[in-house]
A and B are shown apart, each in its own frame.
Chain A
Amino acid sequence: MSDVVISAQGLTKRYGSAVAVDGIDFTVGRGETFGLLGPNGSGKTTTILMLLGLTERSAGTVQVLGEDPMRSPLTVKRRVGYLPDSIGFYDNLTARENLAYTSKLMGIPAAERAPRIAAALARVRLADVADRCVGTFSRGMRQRLGLAEIIMKRAEIAILDEPTSGLDPQSTVEFLDLIRELRGEGVTVLLSSHQLDQVQRVCDRVALFQAGRIVLMGAVGDLARQVLGAGFVVEIEAEGIGLDRRLAAVPGVSAVEAVAHNRYRLTADRDVRPDAARAVVAANGALTRLSVDEPSLEAIYARTFQTPAQEGISDAA
């Protein structure tokens, strides 16, 4: 992870007077899965396009695989795969023909093309529809075909823009599995999304975007401690008298909140379930439910954007 493959410093993009990306800094290490999170219009796609050299940056520096994507676009684009938001293919061509066209543009030697296309299609489970027109494909199949293109390219970095938006839950799970497989092969994955639970499932580190800035960056667990004050939330349903005081006394618990009648939510810095259960039993309480919430991005996101969001609106007005 020490090997940095993407680094951006003070990256800025202005459209006239509007600032789409406002001086962001981040680095992505080799083999890492990095998530760009944020509401629509917060600058994620613009950042991605600047990393690929498809949009000129207004200020700042970018290094992708040690190269500047504006100065050596061909080298960068040869080694980086890109799956655009709402990907399109030539509907009148088959899946195989579509990939054959891009494989020629990639400059893959003629003898290698057919086996690499076949292997890529098999990997994303499209082998049996390889000779069907893409016009008949569902959205999930198109996304997978887009991923097949990156696999065929043998890209060192895969940049996926909103890869799971508009997919049904089944396709989403399949697609996330494919992303995990890629990562297992040592491919660095940079993905943007506004679907937090999915990002949480695959990403090592995330950056939260808001109005063109990165407001938070780090591993999900670290962010939870940083934003929510603690990493674990334990919910308890139990009948008994004075339980809240007893639960508050459990070591590691920082706050106890009575959510409803006989329901308590504990915030703790570690998994306190055994101690909490013991505390309830010791107080002669009847324990009916005990559950732990993993630190969720949703909570982090909500907490981060609750207050500043209102300021953001007044800024914009």
Chain B
Amino acid sequence: MRREGSPWHGLGTVVLKELADNLSSARMRVLEWLIVLTAVAALYGAIGQLRDTTAEDPFLLLRLFTVAQAPLPSFVAILGFLIPLMAIGLGFDAINGEYNRRTLSRLLAQPIYRDALLAGKFLAGLATLTISLTCLWLLVLGLALLFLGVPPGGEEIARSLTFLVVAMIYGGVWLALAMLLSVVFRSPATAALVALGIWLFLTLIWPMLAPAVAGIIAPPDPRYAALGLPTPDTLQWQQMLARLSPHNLFGEAMLAILSPSTRALGAVFLEQLQGAVLGAPLPFGQSLLIAWPQTVGLLAAAMLLFVAAYVVFQRQEVRA
């Protein structure tokens, strides 16, 4: 049986209202400054290092994203770490906040479906992330022009735009997770804590845990060990398990997109390298192909988490 009316009715209204709330909230300002300052610090370090190598590198702009200088990680690594924080900050009290303010039942008594509320909040969060990331991207471009004085080429722009899109999808994963938790937990504090716990686990602990788990699933072969080589089976498991973390997927996709000389992610067999000019950059299309599975993986994760939030929210009691 079909539902009466459109589930999108009221969506635009919710998006605009939530976007206004997001952009004017104090928490948003704190997160923005946190990201801008850390990013500028990383860029400053990278620019200092790049000035020495200006003449040799054809992808100077891209190097700005990936070069790390001693105490600071690279710009991309910092974003990989901070985008989740921002997304969680935007989403952890999306639904339970309405519930605790006692506005939820009043909103749902209006002629809209719950879809509009949930999707509206998600889209508004995503739009907020996009606005901040785009500003950051323009900032990087501007700084590159100012300090390096080399205009970026077309391919560099295409690659850095791809970076922007993948970063948005990556933010979407964490936003969907935060919103799922905001539906499941009635207390925003619990939702925020659980979200941050998952974030820390997946970005810091899981990369260390994955090799151990892989070793248990596929124990290293002593014959390879005797040669000082890793066992292919173990290595493959290790990579598969590590890819369960969105942070890892984002890192791999960025590696392929922003370092044009990346030919493969993970283990490479000798035969695959036959005829390859090592260190030569791949065309943009080929890099995109390498990053494609990771990007689709991120997109799928965001969708699954959103659907889970949707299913739980549809059946949830609204009474206070």
B316 to chain A, nearest CB (A): 10
Report whether A87 and B13 are in contact in the complex, using a CB–CB cutoff of 8 Å.
Answer: no
Interface residues of B in 13-29 (CB under 8 A from A): 13-14, 17
Neighbour of B13 across the interface among A55, A71, A101, CB < 8 A: A101
A72–B320 touching, CB < 8 Å = no
Contact A49 B319 (CB under 8 A): yes
Asked whether, in the complex, the Cβ of B5 is within 8 Å of the Cβ of A74, the reply is yes
Interface residues on B, range: 20 to 34
Which residues of chain B are within 8 angstroms of A77 by Cβ–Cβ distance? Answer: 109-111
Shortest CB-to-CB span from A208 to chain B, Å, is 21
Q: Contact flags (1/0) for B280-320 with A, using CB distance below 8 Å?
A: 00000000000000000000000000000000000001111
The 0/1 profile, CB within 8 Å of A marked 1, for residues 1-41 of chain B is 10011000110011001000000000000000000000000
Q: Are B111 and A105 in contact, with the CB atoms below 8 A?
A: yes
Residues in chain B near residue A72, CB distance under 8 A:
4
**B54 beta carbon closer than 8 Å to chain A:** no
- B107 adjacent to chain A (CB < 8 Å): yes
Given A55, A81, A101, which contacts B318 in the complex, CB threshold below 8 Å?
A55
Does B112 sit within 8 A of A, measured CB to CB?
A: yes
Let me know if A74 and B111 touch, CB within 8 A.
Answer: yes
On whether A107 and B9 interact (CB within 8 A), knowing A55-B317, A71-B4, A74-B4, the answer reads yes
- Decide if A90 touches B108 in the complex (CB within 8 Å): no
* Total contacting residues, chain A, CB less than 8 A: 32
Q: Is A275 an interface residue (CB 8 A)?
A: no
- Chain A residues contacting B250 (CB-CB under 8 Å) are none
B236 at the interface (CB under 8 A from A): no
Q: How far is the CA of A89 from the CA of B102 in the complex (A)?
A: 7
Contact, CB under 8 Å: B4 / A82: no
A71: chain B residues within 8 A (beta carbon): 1, 4
CA distance A149 to B320 in the complex (A): 20
List, in ascending order, chain A residues with CB within 8 A of B223's CB. none
What are the residues of chain B within 8 A of A46 when measuring CB–CB?
A: 319
CA of A106 to CA of B10 in the docked complex: distance in angstroms?
A: 8
Asked if A102 CB lies within 8 Å of chain B CBs, one says: yes
The one of A52, A85, A88, A101 in contact with B109, judged by C-beta atoms closer than 8 angstroms, is A52
Q: Are B111 and A54 in contact (CB under 8 A)?
A: no
CB-CB nearest in chain B for A106: B110
B-facing residues in A61-91 (Cβ within 8 Å): 71-75, 77-78, 80-82, 84-91
Does any Cβ of B come within 8 Å of A146's Cβ?
A: yes
Contact of B102 among A45, A78, A84 (CB under 8 A): A84
User: A102–B107 contact, CB under 8 A?
Assistant: yes
**A102-B4 CB under 8 A given contacts A73-B113, A86-B320, A88-B101:** no
Return the CB mask of B137-174 against A: 1 if under 8 Å, else 0.
00000000000000000000000000000000000000
- Please name all residues of chain B whose beta carbon is closer than 8 Å to the beta carbon of A146 when the two chains form the complex: 106
Q: Which of B5, B105, B110 contacts A102 (CB 8 A)?
A: B110
Q: 7 A–B contact pairs at CB < 8 A?
A: A54-B318, A74-B9, A84-B105, A88-B102, A88-B103, A88-B106, A106-B111
A-B pairs, top 3 by smallest CB distance, nearest first, are A88-B102, A82-B109, A78-B111
Q: List 17 other contacts, CB 8 Å, given A72-B4, A84-B105.
A: A45-B319, A49-B105, A55-B319, A71-B4, A74-B113, A75-B4, A77-B111, A82-B109, A84-B320, A86-B320, A88-B102, A89-B103, A90-B101, A102-B106, A105-B112, A106-B111, A107-B9
